[in-house]
Structure 1
Amino acid sequence: MLRNVTAELDLELGADVDLILQITAARSAHLVQERLTVMQDDGAVAVTEIADPAGARLHRLRGHAGPLQVRYEARVAAGAAAPDASGLETITYLRPSRYCQSDEVFAQARRQFRGLWGRELVAAVEDFVATTTTYTLGFSQGTDSAVTTLSSGQGVCRDYAHLVIALLRAMDVPARYAACYAPGLRPMDFHAVAEAYLDGAWYVIDATRLSRRSALVRIATGRDAADCAFLSYHGGYVGLTRMQVDAHLVPDGAGDDAAAAALAASDPAADDPAALVQLA
């Protein structure tokens, strides 16, 4: 089943600014069609694509003072293979990082999950974060970390992902962060999940339980949110005046039955949190 994804960003630049976007589907996605446009002063802005080692596609541009519009739309087919894991990844994603301080949660993780390993451990960490954290819009700050979320018990998707990652790394399981488009997500936005390395493959964990993991479209992968920001900039002020994100499954055919099947395939309630699911 195809996935349609879109993102619209309206920005206000206070000066000449170097902008870096990370909103397109990753290289591993099976793209059917795609268009990225950046407009300023009624003209197109030149964009340079840069691919990172994890498969994300970053788009860099230079804008000047004034409003700037970013528009992205893509149609993505299912069935793309999950990227192969490398030995370097399994080392990198065991280390503490800025927002996933596995060294600081080490003692609690070892007490909480003592005697667990493999699939049982991953399921226990997912359930712990899902049941002890409350999804709270507007509560967390962009600089909050896994330690903050563990203390407060509140956050949004990035906070859930950071806590899952930190706890898994503390238990010697390589874990990483993935930014995604998530059909069926409510409220709709860019979404963040964790991935755990088990038996030679990466499996996606969404402790918010707000997405159907099999429907996700990968955007970027990294140590934590610092590696996967949808927008970063250097050299001046940038204000985000409007953002709209959408993702949905396209029905296979016409009629009510096809539309209902598409809705069911993106329904978070139909996702079994204990099942092993790979993200392409």
Structure 2
Amino acid sequence: MNRDVNSELVLDVTSTADIVLSVACADVELSGGSEELIVELDGESLPTLELQDRHSTRLHRLTTGPGELKIRYSANIPRRVEPESVDEADIIRYLRPSRYCESDSLGPTAFATFADLSGSQLLEAVGSWVGTKLFYVSGSSLPTDGAVRTLLAREGVCRDFAHLCIGLLRAMNVPARLASVYAPGLSPMDFHAVCEAHVDGRWLVVDPTTLAPRSSMVRIATGRDAADTAFLTVLSGTLDLESLSVTAVVDDLPYDDVREAVQLG
């Protein structure tokens, strides 16, 4: 399975800015893929500093003056599931409540709904429950909304669905984290966010939106929640996002059985 992914950001930088990009696929050099990242300010190339974050997340940091900043990324990635060693510190990290996944507040709801379930049955039940309780509505949530507010509003976008899944699973003592991905088959096309849960020694994908096949997804970034996985972080300065386009295609789009255990690859 080969995946071709592309993203383009156009930014209007109004004062000197220090920014971090998270648009590159994780571990492209290990999976045998190819890629290109082009960053230009008013048509002139800008250098970036690549930094390695947790779980092979690759960040690109740059400083830019005012002007039109264009960022173009493209990659071809074959699917290959690499075994991930279990880090006990990560198990603890992904059991704790976090900025957008308030598992401590969600505990009563989780135990009342899923008390008799564990393992893969719990993953399937949580994904199905979130997928049926929430409506997917573009633009319905604020950047500051967490899982509790999403549950009360009963609507959101992919990151909100993922945050609620993560919060409920952590409340049931299952380590869970968020992965940002390129998702062939997604409509409308955009960056996508899914939940990963640690069960039986593996990190398994839970996507309550069911908007794209999990086995065709390509990992970009991994962390506690959206705070760790944003495609653009402005550390200082000011800018406006003028446009964003994302495409992701696969040579043969697979069928996704939500009952099947799937790992990102």
- Bin of the TM-score, shorter chain as denominator length: over 0.9
Runs (5+) with no aligned partner, structure 1: 251-261
**Alpha-carbon distance in 1 for matches of 2:237, 2:38:** 22
Does structure 2 retain, via aligned residues, the 8 Å contact 1:213–1:277?
yes
Q: Deviation at 1:30?
A: 1.6
Does structure 1 retain, via aligned residues, the 8 Å contact 2:138–2:156?
yes
**Alpha-carbon distance in 2 for matches of 1:186, 1:82:** 30
Does structure 1 retain, via aligned residues, the 8 Å contact 2:19–2:234?
yes
Q: Where does residue 262 of structure 2 map in the other structure?
A: 277
Does structure 1 retain, via aligned residues, the 8 Å contact 2:13–2:65?
yes
TM-score (norm: length of structure 2): 0.97
**Alpha-carbon distance in 2 for matches of 1:102, 1:70:** 36
**Alpha-carbon distance in 2 for matches of 1:48, 1:42:** 19
- Give the aligned length: 264
Q: Where does residue 149 of structure 2 map in the other structure?
A: 148
Q: Deviation at 1:119?
A: 1.2
Q: Where does residue 160 of structure 2 map in the other structure?
A: 159
Does structure 2 retain, via aligned residues, the 8 Å contact 1:82–1:278?
no
The alignment yields a C-alpha RMSD, in angstroms, of 1.1
TM-score (norm: length of structure 1): 0.92
**Alpha-carbon distance in 2 for matches of 1:82, 1:189:** 27
**Alpha-carbon distance in 1 for matches of 2:151, 2:256:** 25
Q: Where does residue 206 of structure 2 map in the other structure?
A: 205
Identical amino acids, percent of aligned pairs: 45
User: Structure 1, residues 52-105: CA drift from partner, whole Å, max 9, x if none?
Assistant: 122100000011011110000000011241433311111100000000000001
SS at match of 2:47: coil
Q: Where does residue 27 of structure 2 map in the other structure?
A: 27
Q: Where does residue 4 of structure 2 map in the other structure?
A: 4
Runs (5+) with no aligned partner, structure 2: none
Does structure 2 retain, via aligned residues, the 8 Å contact 1:82–1:279?
no
Q: Deviation at 1:47?
A: 0.4
Q: Where does residue 175 of structure 1 map in the other structure?
A: 176
Q: Where does residue 190 of structure 2 map in the other structure?
A: 189
Does structure 1 retain, via aligned residues, the 8 Å contact 2:81–2:263?
no
Q: Deviation at 1:234?
A: 2.2
Moved more, 39-48 or 6-15: 39-48
SS at match of 1:106: helix
Q: Where does residue 18 of structure 1 map in the other structure?
A: 18
**Alpha-carbon distance in 2 for matches of 1:82, 1:156:** 30
> What letter corresponds to residue 277 of structure 1 in structure 2?
V
User: Structure 1, residues 139-180: CA drift from partner, whole Å, max 9, x if none?
Assistant: 111111100111111000000000000000000000000000
Q: Where does residue 123 of structure 2 map in the other structure?
A: 122
Q: Where does residue 58 of structure 1 map in the other structure?
A: 59
SS at match of 1:105: helix
**Alpha-carbon distance in 2 for matches of 1:39, 1:31:** 27
Q: Deviation at 1:31?
A: 4.1
Correspondence 1:139 to 2:124: no
Does structure 2 retain, via aligned residues, the 8 Å contact 1:85–1:202?
no
Does structure 1 retain, via aligned residues, the 8 Å contact 2:19–2:236?
no
SS at match of 1:8: strand
**Alpha-carbon distance in 2 for matches of 1:47, 1:171:** 41
Q: Deviation at 1:238?
A: 1.2
Q: Where does residue 68 of structure 2 map in the other structure?
A: 67
